[in-house]
Amino acid sequence: MEFNRVVGTRRSIRFFKSWRPVEREKLQVMFEAANRASRSMNADYFRAIVVNRDDLDAETRDALRNPTTTADLDLAPTYIFWYIDMNYVEGAQDRLKALVDQNALSAAHGWSRAYVDDFLWPQVLEPISKDMSAVLFMGAVETGIAICNALNAAVDQGLGTCMHAFTANETMKSLLGVPDTWFPVWLQLVGYPAEEPEAGGQRPRNPISTLFFEGHTSRPFEEDPEVTERLKREGMLQTPGPFPYRAQEVKMLSRMYGLPE
Ligand SMILES: Cc1cc2nc3c(=O)[nH]c(=O)nc-3n(C[C@H](O)[C@H](O)[C@H](O)COP(=O)(O)O)c2cc1C
């Protein structure tokens, strides 16, 4: 799929073909996409553990439920638990110097091995590594960027996916062998959509002019109608929901799975 269509087609899928497993190779593509995500210090901010739903017993699965993560856990065959590795700053000096060595970072922008060793590490990065709110803040941003790539790679391969809050309890932690330095963030559910991939139409979004500004907050970034039309043709902007038959779609899927209507 073309990039614009992937972005436009992605939406949160909550009805999965519960019987159809996700091919391992598709997971690999998602993980490579996540691993290509931009990241400051070229650090490995995230860790993720993929689990087959059917490898978890009913009690363990039930313990993951919370007010916003419910029947989804029964329908999605594949769970990806995302974490921040709170030790991600470790090795930043060496990683940055490796970037200097390959001229990804160059003297043109003030970089050198000495700049990393004598200034950046002691003055900026090491202090960050000791500031827990900075570690969490950066870890959440960078993990989110990686997750975004994984979401889009899933959609590109015809999969459905949705992010979820999950209850990170001690049983789960020990079952998955999660180290103490990993901070739980989100659960990504993956599978083949049982609903149409459009899931009833694109979700409501405010116009970009309410979110983006040019030079000053008093000047909204106004869209060019020709670009908007092109994005419609290329699939980034799609028919907004709800499709006229969406309520019926949800009703029939709920009935099929014995869920409340
Ligand atoms: C980080 C994150 C956490 C989310 N957590 C939940 C959740 O716990 N339960 C849920 O049903 N949807 C969850 N969602 C999905 C959002 O509700 C959904 O993205 C939003 O309604 C917009 O719809 P769209 O993803 O189809 O564009 C989450 C999404 C993100 C990005």
Q: 49 has which bridge partners?
A: 81
Claim to verify: residue 26 and residue 94 sit in the same structural domain? yes
Answer whether 186 contacts ligand 1 (Cβ < 6 A): yes
CA–CA separation, 59 and 38 (whole Å): 38
What is d(CA 4, CA 158) in angstroms, rounded to the nearest whole number? 15
What CATH code is carried by the domain that includes residue 84? 3.40.109.10
Q: Within this chain, do residues 93 and 178 fall inside the same structural domain, yes or no?
A: yes
Q: At what angle do helices 132-156 and 24-35 cross, to 10 degrees?
A: 140
Q: Which ligand 1 atom lies nearest to the CA of residue 144?
A: 1
Q: Answer for the pair 257, 15: CB distance below 8 angstroms, yes or no.
A: yes
Tell me what pLDDT residue 101 has.
98
Q: Supply the residue whose CA is at minimum distance from atom 13 of ligand 1.
A: 164
22 and 147 fall within a common domain? yes
Q: Let me know if residue 3 belongs to a domain.
A: no
DSSP string, 40-69: GGG---EEEEEEEGGGS-HHHHHHH-BTTB
Cβ–ligand 1 distance for 69 under 6 Å, the answer yes
Is 1 inside any structural domain? no
Would you say the pTM of this structure is higher than 0.85? Answer: yes
Residues 6+ apart with CB under 8 A from 259: 71, 253
Instruction: Give the model's pLDDT for residue 199.
Output: 98
Q: Which of 11, 161, 163, 203 to mutate to test the pocket of ligand 1 (most atoms within 8 A of CB)?
A: 163
Residues 115 and 215 in one domain: no
Residues 173 and 218 in one domain: no
Query: Within a domain: residue 2?
Result: no
Residue 6 lies in a domain: no
Q: Tell me, yes or no, whether 187 and 216 share the same domain.
A: no
For residue 83, the SS3 value is: strand
238 lines ligand 1 (CB under 6 A): no
Q: Are residues 22 and 88 in the same domain?
A: yes
pLDDT at 167 (0 to 100): 86
Quick check: CB of 202 below 6 Å from ligand 1? no
Asked whether residue 155 is domain-assigned, the answer is yes
**Is 236 strand, coil or helix?**
coil
Backbone Cα Rg of the chain: 21
- The pair of structure tokens assigned to 72 is 């989804």
Q: Are residues 166 and 212 in the same domain?
A: no
Residue 115 structure tokens: 């700049």
Q: Are residue 51 and residue 167 in the same domain, yes or no?
A: yes
Do residues 187 and 202 both lie within one domain? Answer: no
- Tell me if 205 CB under 6 Å of ligand 1: no
Whether 243 and 152 share a structural domain: no
Domain that holds residue 113: 17-192
Residue 9 lies inside a defined structural domain of this protein = no
11 within ligand 1 shell (Cβ under 6 A): yes
Domain-ending residue, one of 192, 213, 243: 192
Q: Which residues of 184-205 are buried (b: 16+ CB within 10 A; e: fewer)?
A: bbbbbbbbbbbbeebbbbbeee
**pLDDT at res. 54:** 97
Report d(CA 12, CA 162) in Å as an integer.
5
Choose among 65, 47, 48, 45: nearest CA to 56. 65
Half-sphere exposure at residue 69, Cβ-oriented, CA atoms within 13 angstroms: 20
162 alpha carbon to ligand 1 midpoint, in Å? 6
The domain total for the chain is 2
| Number of helices (H), then strands (E), in the chain | 11, 6
User: Which of 84, 151, 162, 203 has most ligand 1 atoms within 8 Å of its beta carbon, as the pocket-test mutant?
Assistant: 162
- Domain-located, residue 34: yes
DSSP H helices, 105-176, are 113-114, 126-129, 132-156, 170-176
What's the confidence (pLDDT) of residue 11?
Answer: 97
What is the rounded CA–CA span in Å between residue 100 and residue 94?
10
Ligand 1 atom 27: the closest Cα is on which residue? Answer: 11
Distance CA 82, CA 67 (A): 19
Mutate to test the pocket of ligand 1, among 82, 164, 203, 246 (most ligand atoms within 8 A of CB): 164
Does 250 lie in the same domain as 187? no
Maximum CA extent, the chain: 65
Length of the chain: 261
Spell out, as residue ranges, where the chain has pLDDT lower than 50: none
Residue 66 domain-assigned? yes
